[in-house]
Amino acid sequence: MIVPVILAGGSGTRLWPLSRQSNPKQFLYLVDQQYTMLQLTLKRLENLSQQVLPPIIVCNENHRFIVAEQLRQIDIAHASIILEPCAKNTAPAITLAALQALELYPDQSVSLLVLSADHYIADIPAFQHSILLAEQQARLEKLVIFGVKPTEPHTGYGYIQLGEQIKEKNTYKLDKFVEKPDLQTAEHYVSSQNYLWNSGMFMFQTPLFLQELKHHQADIYQCCVNAWQYKTKDLDFIRIGLQEFQQCPENSIDYAIMENTTQGVVICLDVGWNDLGSWSSLWESNQKDANQNVIFGDVIAEQSQRNYVYSASRLVTVFGVEDLIVVETKDAVLIAHQDKSQEIKKIVEQLKNEQRVELRQHKEVVRPWGKYDCIDVGSRYQVKRITVNAKAKLSLQMHHHRAEHWVVVKGTAKVTKGEEQYYVSENESTFIPLGTLHSLENPGCIPLELIEIQSGSYLGEDDILRFKDEYGRI
């Protein structure tokens, strides 16, 4: 049996301004308008369902409700969601998943299929065939890495050097890993046909992985075991010991195990793989029009070729341009040449240095109960459009510096204000004075939408004192 381990903790900053810290690329609709990258990662395993057990997701604590909601949307039940209190790279993350698998299936021989939540794969049947091939090797007590057949001398990927071929087709012994090369070296790798791109996808059985980790990286193994001993269940999530995990060294599975093991095997993939690590790679992976433009949203492109144009909230037009990336969101616009897409991280660094809110979140902010969109901001006021999911409820809270006026535009709101409880219907409003204990609930079966007008001396999101919360945020 196969246990998918989905690593969903990345920040995806090279796809700014669409991907942000609060909602990175693995949770976005980048190549499919129906499913996010995380959902596509799980759905491409559907035809293997008789052999696949519920997944284990490892994610950032701040993204836990996004993960839970996206799993619910595609009817994934009984998943384990492990929350990383801090990022420590792939080796510790996979170790936590392995400890959970060992706890769930102590008497079963299961293979962990480690996948990134933000990769694109075009040929799903071929990928599923490779998974079954890898499982055969995992049962033979091998640590399998999936290597991708290069289509060009790419300098943004690490490479794997192949050893001798094993009798199974597309299966080789692992020789060694190679760092991201310069262009001349990458051209040599591709022409030699003895190197593959490192996909960052793996398969192995739980006991072997833990045994190899303990042998080669005893400090990582012990820190993770210590953190796991202090795990607690929080709603549908697994929290681990913070102090114990903070002491864990940062390391990738490549360096920690795969470069040191003698049990490494490579499965060669030729499935249209892309890690979607830049806007140019998104252009490569998406469907193009007659002029080789990739277009999302309300876009008019005239006399323009080979562009990636994304509109989130308004009309975007391009005229007489080539090889550009144009991305519009409600609060930021990016215009760059495709050749410079790998260097967008320089803009991200500047945003980080200036502590710009545009790096962290969009104007539309996702919450476990729904979302809100900031419509207008002044020196002593702020206007938001709030959407509360069916049967969802905001925390019982108060504010020290602001009052709030709510106008319901769709659905019915159940309001708690001090000792009062009452309903507010469409085209009705209510006022929450400063310092008043209050809560908002959607008792209905359709989303509740309202306009919130905040007024006061300070309007920051940290002016919330929670007294009771269904989502454990107190």
pLDDT of residue 372: 94
Asked if pLDDT for residue 234 goes beyond 90, the answer is no
Q: What is the pTM of this model?
A: 0.88
Asked if pLDDT for residue 473 goes beyond 70, the answer is no
Contacts of 166 (CB under 8 A, 6+ apart): 137, 172, 173, 265
Asked if pLDDT for residue 253 goes beyond 80, the answer is yes
The pair of structure tokens assigned to 426 is 């469409």
pLDDT of residue 461: 85
Domains and CATH numbers, the chain: 2-274 (3.90.550.10), 279-343 (no CATH), 364-468 (2.60.120.10)
- DSSP line for 17-73: TTSBTTB-GGGS-SS-SSS-HHHHHHHTTGGGGGGBPPPEEEEEGGGHHHHHHHHHH
Distance CA 377, CA 451 (A): 13
Distance CA 308, CA 79 (A): 35
Read off the pLDDT of residues 52-102 as tens digits, 9 standing for 90 and up: 999 999 999 889 999 999 999 999 989 999 999 999 999 999 999 999 999
30 residue type, one letter? L
Read off the pLDDT of residues 381-425 as tens digits, 9 standing for 90 and up: 999 999 999 999 999 999 999 999 999 999 999 999 999 999 999
* Mean of pLDDT values over 179-189: 89
Residue that is written with structure tokens 């395993």 in the block: 45
Residue that is written with structure tokens 């790279």 in the block: 89
Residue pair 63/28 in contact (Cβ under 8 Å)? The answer is no
Asked if pLDDT for residue 10 goes beyond 70, the answer is yes
* Mean of pLDDT values over 213-219: 95
* Mean of pLDDT values over 21-44: 94
Asked if pLDDT for residue 274 goes beyond 80, the answer is yes
Total H helices, total E strands in the chain: 12, 30
Residue pair 257/91 in contact (Cβ under 8 Å)? The answer is yes
Read off the pLDDT of residues 39-51 as tens digits, 9 standing for 90 and up: 999 999 998 877 8
pLDDT of residue 248: 95
pLDDT of residue 474: 62
